[in-house]
């Protein structure tokens, strides 16, 4: 195969100019004639009975077009991700601060505010259930009547864990705690609903899953899915929280009720209070090993607080369990996965889907083990790391694992790991420096047994220009660029000749959600297939015209290529010929995530089989008097299989590291008795440019052998996962004391500091 | 946000007239970086806003041994002023560690004072430099030491018809040096958990002739640590003396726990940071002496 012309090369992302010059239109920028302002009334209580709900005064106010409550929903009054247990508008009880109670559409924001103020809600506050450990007790009051507070309780076992622990030279047992984390995307949730000529509803939605949105909107409206259309304008970040529906359903309901366009955008405070958070977890973890550091067994119990409704809790907690042993060869493993309902914030998807919590724990355990056994943290990881062909504790045989050890070795080299003791550890009496590493795996795709496919439509016109239609949402992560590159590569044109339509359910088939680092693989494969079909037609025409056999032909840089040399005939010429001769250059393809059948039986439910491997090493400086941690340097080595868009890959790594540093050190939603104390970016502390250290990044490429376009296996989630454990291990190295709770704030660090050490 | 009238008087005199006319119902708006947020959150709901943008109150000049800063001087202006670099470097350090460039372009010195946040970053350096302020009403001017301005969180002695006009800082003898330190939850765009300025004047034998320690975010208002200051004055400076003064500062404050920090952490950090600020100031003194 000839070398690649476009894939793997730096390129300007389609739409980049619009974004940086402010021309790109996001949901808040959409203006339509007669458009009303929509707003929601949210519960101020963590738990309360709705004694009375009266909207008649609000309905009578001037400029108010619609006021709706649960009674006015024509279809089903629920979100539907996995279980339809969260009402769109509360019925008789509110179960978290932020449960929506009513929705209004009015002529402008002022009138909408007045309408909200005129809605009479009488609440009777109820004692909430805020502690997941108490909620788990059989005697506990039910958060959601008729539903067990324990919404998930599963045990997965492989091998003989108890016997392995019994025979071990060393057993380490700890309890870890993680926090609620907020996605803090630039663009908060929003949607614009409008009524079509035939009574159907179109919704512009800031989302990750347009087709699932369509299903949910249709359900709520009691309409067929064919009457609902979802379009994504530009989207300013999502990170998982927009995988689940938010206000786009209400935008559709209000447009239907008001029979006019409705603009419904949350404010930042509303956004923080109402969208799903990363689950706080309590994880008990036991590691058993030989005195040489060989892992024998892992036993873990994960308790996740999901808030009152299920959202994607099952999926997140299942993924946490799937990766709980890390990228290591662990023959005996037991994990108990428990998810609990409480009256705390709702929780769901967030970049990594439970893997960051798992990695914080298993990588902390690795360092505790290394310290206790006096083994170098690098060596203990190399000793236990999975290899190509390893049968994992999930039952999955890793098809390509070279990136695991290679990323460790490369990262160690980048930071000069062997010579780290030559660096001043104690630059001032109150300052301590340390180094810590973390190596992780994250599966791409939804998992075996789940519906995981994507479709695209590709058309080349007579002038050689191309339109690519896909319903894969691009929230800024760059799937549009990747799809354009892959199509351009196969069609021998430059990416500027390709227009990628923004996701629209009426233009393209379902591509599923942009989540689980899956779109490069599923949509990528669909694009290759569709492009190859058009390429075939073009080459067939070239054969007819030149009488040269097809195996000597190629398309590249806008030209037909014969035996590697450009021919005078261009791709445009061929496209024109196709048009004139009546060969439509139109292709559709639907690609399914590949799960080969010729492998041993997989035992972990919904396990993934394609893994991103990466290693981060952090250098930190701890101020032992203030507890402040400075991340001085961070090196990151990522195996992406094949890098399609370098700008996108490095961008994802940088962004993930920044978000990971926040998760490690400062980010924490402070929730007391179900009420969030810091629903603003003033007090929910995400890192800023000055908090990000010098980064050294390296990408390695071990092509994925099965089902990956050109070997590429995605990147989006992996980078957020290792910073927290790497920084934790570096703090351990600096202070000689381990920490077991995130985030590692100064006030949590100070108690373990002993300056006399 | 509630509805309001917006006035942008063409002169300061007109602004003063408007303020006395609308009194309690009105608010002065300078950069708006505090006020607009409070209006959005309905903490305040003025029916008239009086914008000072056309009143030329942003001048910074020295006259008769006193530096005069107009209330509307932006933080960026303060950062760029070389006379402030020379005479009041701790004020510039506070500006540099304040928010980020866009906010520093809008936010004003006067707004930071009148807003009366206990955590206001510019107040400790100003207090340590013995700043005083001039308030104007249609009835006349009133000058008072900045330290006497604050009465509680968001509360001050400013009357409804008064506008802050300027801040005055007496030029200091060369034997005086000061250090500002801010502790925040991140390196920029952070509201202080604790902030402070220490200023020392010393004679040739390392004896403290004058001391100021002004602290923010550790009491209902910015405060001076008087007993710590008293412990220093007249004594020969030593690490032990500094440690003792830092302990005293800790004993003088009355912090609270909030989302940014606990009471205990603020107590602890006050001691650590007062000690660090005094040591850094002492070092600066030595440097000026050896170089001069
Ligand atoms: C993102 C962000 C970051 C911030 N970071 C910091 C920080 O790091 N440190 C910090 O201390 N603060 C910070 N602040 C708070 C704020 O920026 C400062 O307090 C700023 O100095 C206020 O100045 P202003 O000109 O914007 O005041 P305005 O908001 O215009 O006014 C503030 C108050 O003072 C009154 N006022 C203003 N001028 C006068 C006058 N001449 N006479 C009478 N009353 C007057 C107003 O009526 C109002 O009540 C931050 C704010 C934001 C939004």
Q: Which residue has the tokens 């003088």?
A: B252
Q: What angle do CA B267, B269, B271 make, to 5 degrees?
A: 75
Same-domain check for residues B123 and B28: no
Same-domain check for residues A122 and A240: yes
Same-domain check for residues A290 and A237: no
Q: Which residues in chain A have their CB less than 8 angstroms from residue B36's CB?
A: none
Same-domain check for residues A484 and A375: no
Q: Does a structural domain hold residue A373? A: yes
Mean pLDDT per 10-residue interval, chain B, length 292 residues: 91 98 98 96 96 96 97 98 97 98 98 98 98 97 98 98 98 91 97 98 94 98 98 97 98 97 98 98 83 49
Interchain pair B189, A688: CB under 8 A: yes
Residue closest to B100 by CA, chosen among B191, B32, B181: B191
Tokens of A428: 């001032």
Taking only the tens place, the pLDDT of each residue in A645-677 is 999 999 999 999 999 999 999 999 999 999 999
Interchain pair B186, A677: CB under 8 A: no
- CATH code of the domain in which B13 resides: 3.30.43.10
Alpha-carbon span B12 to A255, nearest angstrom: 50
Same-domain check for residues A219 and A349: no
Interface test with A, best of B37, B119, B186, B265 (most A CBs within 10 A): B186
- CATH code of the domain in which A476 resides: 3.30.365.10
Same-domain check for residues B69 and B164: yes
Alpha-carbon span A538 to A394, nearest angstrom: 45
Interchain pair B188, A688: CB under 8 A: yes
Picking from B119, B147, B170, the residue at the C-terminal end of a domain is: B170
Q: Does a structural domain hold residue A304? A: yes
Same-domain check for residues B139 and B155: yes
SS3 annotation, A82-120: CCCCCCCCCCCEECCCCCEEEEEEECCHHHHHHHHHHCE
Nearest 5°: phi and psi at A634?
A: -145, 125
Q: Which residue range is the domain that position A52 belongs to? A: 31-126+189-265
Same-domain check for residues A549 and A636: no
Same-domain check for residues A638 and A681: yes
- In A502-642, where does DSSP find H-type helix? 519-546, 571-581
Interchain pair A666, B185: CB under 8 A: yes
Same-domain check for residues B36 and B80: no
pLDDT of the residue at A246: 98
Picking from B148, B170, B192, the residue at the C-terminal end of a domain is: B170
Q: How many angstroms from the chain centroid is the CA of residue B246? A: 21
Q: How many CB atoms lie within 10 A of CB A2?
A: 8
- A626, A688, A747 member nearest B186 (Cβ): A688
Q: Does a structural domain hold residue A149? A: no
Residue B98 beta carbon below 6 angstroms from any ligand 1 atom: yes
Q: Does a structural domain hold residue A271? A: no
Q: What angle do CA A254, A259, A264 make, to 5 degrees?
A: 35
- CATH code of the domain in which A194 resides: 3.90.1170.50
Same-domain check for residues B64 and B165: yes
Which residue minimizes the CA distance to atom 36 of ligand 1?
Answer: B111
Same-domain check for residues B83 and B159: yes
Q: Which residue range is the domain that position B115 belongs to? A: 60-170
Picking from B138, B154, B170, the residue at the C-terminal end of a domain is: B170
Sheet containing strand A295-305, strands side by side: A150-158, A332-340, A295-305, A281-289, A170-177
Q: Does a structural domain hold residue A683? A: yes
- A682, A687, A747 member nearest B191 (Cβ): A682
Residue B164 beta carbon below 6 angstroms from any ligand 1 atom: yes
Q: Are A60 and A69 in contact (CB under 8 A)?
A: no
User: Is the CB of residue B246 less than 8 Å away from at least one CB of chain A?
Assistant: no
Q: Are A718 and A520 in contact (CB under 8 A)?
A: no
Alpha-carbon span B209 to A331, nearest angstrom: 72
Alpha-carbon span A614 to A355, nearest angstrom: 13
Same-domain check for residues A301 and A401: yes
Q: How far is the CA of A158 from the centre of ligand 1 (A)?
A: 61
User: Is the CB of residue B190 less than 8 Å away from at least one CB of chain A?
Assistant: yes
Alpha-carbon span A350 to A182, nearest angstrom: 8
Same-domain check for residues B88 and B149: yes
Q: Does a structural domain hold residue A432? A: yes
Same-domain check for residues A76 and A213: yes
Same-domain check for residues A650 and A703: yes
Same-domain check for residues B147 and B204: no
Please give the tally of structural domains in chain A. 3
Q: How far is the CA of B277 from the centre of ligand 1 (A)?
A: 26
User: Is the CB of residue A10 less than 8 Å away from at least one CB of chain B?
Assistant: no
Residue B103 beta carbon below 6 angstroms from any ligand 1 atom: yes
- CATH code of the domain in which B213 resides: 3.30.390.50
pLDDT of the residue at A756: 67
Same-domain check for residues A109 and A241: yes
Please give the tally of structural domains in chain B. 3
Alpha-carbon span A235 to A224, nearest angstrom: 26
Picking from A265, A291, A311, the residue at the C-terminal end of a domain is: A265
pLDDT of the residue at B292: 44
User: Is the CB of residue A167 less than 8 Å away from at least one CB of chain B?
Assistant: no
Taking only the tens place, the pLDDT of each residue in A397-448 is 999 999 999 999 999 999 999 999 999 999 999 999 999 999 999 999 999 9
Same-domain check for residues A604 and A699: yes
pLDDT of the residue at A1: 45
- CATH code of the domain in which B134 resides: 3.30.465.10
pLDDT of the residue at B289: 66
Alpha-carbon span B221 to B154, nearest angstrom: 9
Residue closest to A611 by CA, chosen among A393, A278, A388: A388
- In B151-238, where does DSSP find H-type helix? 226-232
Regions of chain A short of the pLDDT cut 70: 1-2, 755-757
pLDDT of the residue at B286: 82
User: Is the CB of residue A551 less than 8 Å away from at least one CB of chain B?
Assistant: no
b/e B168-204 (16+ beta carbons within 10 angstroms → b) = bbebbeebbbbbbbbbbbbebbbbbbbbbbbbbbbee
Same-domain check for residues A324 and A206: no
Same-domain check for residues B285 and B181: yes
Strands A295-305 and A332-340: parallel
Picking from A265, A295, A326, the residue at the C-terminal end of a domain is: A265
């Amino acid at each position: 195969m000839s070398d690649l012309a476009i894939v793997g090369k730096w390129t300007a992302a389609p739409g980049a100019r619009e974004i940086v010059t402010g021309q790109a239109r996001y949901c808040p920028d959409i203006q339509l004639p007669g458009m009303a302002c929509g707003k929601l009334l949210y519960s101020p209580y963590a738990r309360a009975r709705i004694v009375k709900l009266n909207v008649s005064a609000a309905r009578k106010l001037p400029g108010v077009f619609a006021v709706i409550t649960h009674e006015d929903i024509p279809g089903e009054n629920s979100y539907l991700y996995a279980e339809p247990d969260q009402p769109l508008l509360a019925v008789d009880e509110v179960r978290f601060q932020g449960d929506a109670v009513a929705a209004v559409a009015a002529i402008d924001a002022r009138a909408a505010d007045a309408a909200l103020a005129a809605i009479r809600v009488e609440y009777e506050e109820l004692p909430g259930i805020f502690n997941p450990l108490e909620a788990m007790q059989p005697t506990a009051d039910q958060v959601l009547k008729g539903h067990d507070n324990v919404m998930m309780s599963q045990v997965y076992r492989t091998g003989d864990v108890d016997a392995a622990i019994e025979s071990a030279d060393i057993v380490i047992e700890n309890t870890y705690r993680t926090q609620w984390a907020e996605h803090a995307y630039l663009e908060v949730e929003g949607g614009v609903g409008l009524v079509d000529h035939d009574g159907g509803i179109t919704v512009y939605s800031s989302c990750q899953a347009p087709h699932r949105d369509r299903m949910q909107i249709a359900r709520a409206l009691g309409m067929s899915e064919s009457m609902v259309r979802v379009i994504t304008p530009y989207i300013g970040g999502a990170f998982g929280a927009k995988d689940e529906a938010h206000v786009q359903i209400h935008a559709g309901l209000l447009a239907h009720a008001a029979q006019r366009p409705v603009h419904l955008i949350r404010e930042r405070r509303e956004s923080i209070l109402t969208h799903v958070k990363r689950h706080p977890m309590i994880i008990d973890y036991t590691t058993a090993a030989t005195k040489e550091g060989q892992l024998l067994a892992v036993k873990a119990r994960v308790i996740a607080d999901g808030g009152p409704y299920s959202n994607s809790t099952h999926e997140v907690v299942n993924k946490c369990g799937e990766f709980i042993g890390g990228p290591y060869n662990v023959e005996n493993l037991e994990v108990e996965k428990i998810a609990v309902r409480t009256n705390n914030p709702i929780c769901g998807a967030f970049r990594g889907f439970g893997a960051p919590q798992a990695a914080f724990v298993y990588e902390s355990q690795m360092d505790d083990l290394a310290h206790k056994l006096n083994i170098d943290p690098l060596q203990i990881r190399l000793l236990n790391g999975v290899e190509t062909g390893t049968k994992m504790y999930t039952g999955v045989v890793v098809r390509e694992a070279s990136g695991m050890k290679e990323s460790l070795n490369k990262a160690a080299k980048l930071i000069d790991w062997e010579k780290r003791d030559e660096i001043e550890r104690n630059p001032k009496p109150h300052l301590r420096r340390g180094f810590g590493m973390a190596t992780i795996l994250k599966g791409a795709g939804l998992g075996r047994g789940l519906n995981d496919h994507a479709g695209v439509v590709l058309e080349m016109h007579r002038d050689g220009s191309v339109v690519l239609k896909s319903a894969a949402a691009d929230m800024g992560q760059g799937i549009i660029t990747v799809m354009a590159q892959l199509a351009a590569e196969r069609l021998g044109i430059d990416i500027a000749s390709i227009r990628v339509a923004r996701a629209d359910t009426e233009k393209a088939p379902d591509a599923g959600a942009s989540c689980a680092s899956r779109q490069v693989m599923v949509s990528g494969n669909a694009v290759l297939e569709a492009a190859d079909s058009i390429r075939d037609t073009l080459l067939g025409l070239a054969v007819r015209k030149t009488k040269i056999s097809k195996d000597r032909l190629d398309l590249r840089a806008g030209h037909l290529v014969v035996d590697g040399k450009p021919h005078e005939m261009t791709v445009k010429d061929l496209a024109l010929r196709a048009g004139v001769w009546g060969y439509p250059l139109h292709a559709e393809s639907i690609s399914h995530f590949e799960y080969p059948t010729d492998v041993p039986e997989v035992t972990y439910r919904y396990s993934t089989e394609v893994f991103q491997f990466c290693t981060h090493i952090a250098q930190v400086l701890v101020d032992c008097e203030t507890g402040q941690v400075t991340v001085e340097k961070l090196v990151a080595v990522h195996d992406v299989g094949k890098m399609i868009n370098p700008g996108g890959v490095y961008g994802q790594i940088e962004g993930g590291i920044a978000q990971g540093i926040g998760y490690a050190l400062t980010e924490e939603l402070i929730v007391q008795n179900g009420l969030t104390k810091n629903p603003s970016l003033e007090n929910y502390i995400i890192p800023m440019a000055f908090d990000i250290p010098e980064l050294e990044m390296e990408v390695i490429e071990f092509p994925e052998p099965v089902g990956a376009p050109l070997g590429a296996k995605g990147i989006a989630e992996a980078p957020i996962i290792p910073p927290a454990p790497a920084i934790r291990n570096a703090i351990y190295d600096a202070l000689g004391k381990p920490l077991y709770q995130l985030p590692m704030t100064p006030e949590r660090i100070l108690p373990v500091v002993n300056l006399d050490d | 946000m509630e509805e309001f009238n917006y006035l942008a008087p063409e002169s300061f005199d007109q602004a003063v007239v408007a303020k006395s006319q609308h009194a309690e119902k009105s608010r002065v708006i300078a950069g708006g970086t505090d006020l607009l947020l409070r209006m959005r959150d309905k903490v305040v709901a003025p029916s008239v806003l009086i914008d000072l943008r056309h009143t030329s109150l942003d001048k910074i000049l020295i006259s008769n041994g006193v530096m005069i800063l107009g209330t509307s001087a932006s933080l960026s202006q303060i950062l760029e002023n070389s006379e402030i670099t020379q005479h009041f470097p701790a004020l510039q350090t506070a500006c540099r560690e304040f928010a980020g460039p866009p906010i520093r372009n809008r936010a004003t010195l006067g707004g930071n004072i009148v807003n009366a946040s206990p955590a206001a970053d510019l107040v400790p350096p100003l207090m340590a430099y013995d700043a005083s302020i001039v308030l104007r009403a249609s009835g006349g001017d009133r000058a008072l030491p900045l330290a006497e301005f604050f009465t509680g969180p968001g509360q001050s002695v400013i009357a409804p018809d008064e506008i802050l006009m300027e801040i005055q800082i007496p030029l200091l003898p060369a034997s005086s040096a000061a250090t500002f330190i801010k502790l925040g939850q991140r390196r920029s765009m952070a509201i202080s958990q604790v902030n402070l300025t220490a200023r020392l004047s010393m004679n040739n034998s390392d004896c403290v002739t004058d001391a100021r320690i002004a602290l923010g975010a550790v009491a209902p208002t910015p405060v001076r640590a008087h007993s710590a200051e008293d412990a220093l004055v007249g004594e020969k400076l030593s690490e032990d003396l500094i440690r003792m003064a830092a302990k005293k500062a800790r004993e003088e404050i009355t912090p609270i726990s909030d989302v940014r920090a606990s009471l205990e952490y603020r107590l602890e950090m006050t001691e650590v940071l007062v000690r660090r600020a005094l040591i850094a100031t002492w070092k600066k003194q030595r440097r000026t002496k050896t170089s001069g």
